[in-house]
Amino acid sequence: MDQHLSLWLIEDNMAIANLIPIALEDALLLPVDYRHFETGEAFSEAFHLIRSLAAPMPSLILLDMNLPDSNGLRLLSEVRQYADRISLPVIMFSSHQNEDLISMSYFQGANAFIEKPFDYDELMEILNGCISFWGNKRFS
């Protein structure tokens, strides 16, 4: 599937949100369609608009667990309740990990649960891994 790689980030921490496009360029050396949503509401609106237009979904979503107006698990289940969008890879992004949160994320259909990075190198590793496994939905 040689479709253009597109990544959506739902994250209220602007430091991370601003670093990701730089890291993506570093990691890939090719243009990536990147969209950032600061709130759950903004994401929700875009998601439902794309659904109603039957437009292409992003290749991959990175979803912050704690948002000012919502929580990641609720948004995840909102995405997963649409059978036509169930194959969309969603990676939960969390600043803390506990067993219940991790277990609940997989239960709700997250493809993976990842703790937020400490530094740029870690962010690069996360993005590299995500792109390898889900950039075209098949790791080879």
Binding site for other proteins (CB under 8 A): 1, 83, 86-89, 97, 99-100, 102-103, 106-107, 109, 111-115, 118, 122, 125-126, 129, 132-134, 137-140
Q: How many angstroms separate the CA atoms of 116 and 138, rounded?
A: 24
Nearer to other proteins, 52 or 99 (CB): 99
CB-nearer residue toward other proteins: 52 or 118: 118
- Least Å distance between CB 82 and other proteins? 11
Of 52 and 87, nearer to other proteins (C-beta) is: 87
Q: Name the residue nearer to other proteins (CB basis): 31 or 139.
A: 139
Distance CA 82, CA 1 (A): 22
Write the DSSP symbol of residue 74.
Answer: H
Distance from C-alpha of 130 to C-alpha of 135, rounded to nearest angstrom: 7
Q: How do strand 112-115 and strand 90-94 relate by DSSP bridges?
A: parallel
H or E element at residue 91 = strand 90-94
For the CB of residue 53, give the shortest distance to other proteins in the complex, in Å.
Answer: 20
| Helix or strand holding residue 35 (H, E) | strand 33-37
Q: C-beta of 97: minimal distance to other proteins in Å?
A: 5
Query: CB of residue 20 vs other proteins: minimum separation in angstroms?
Result: 15
Is the CB of residue 101 less than 8 Å from the CB of residue 120? no
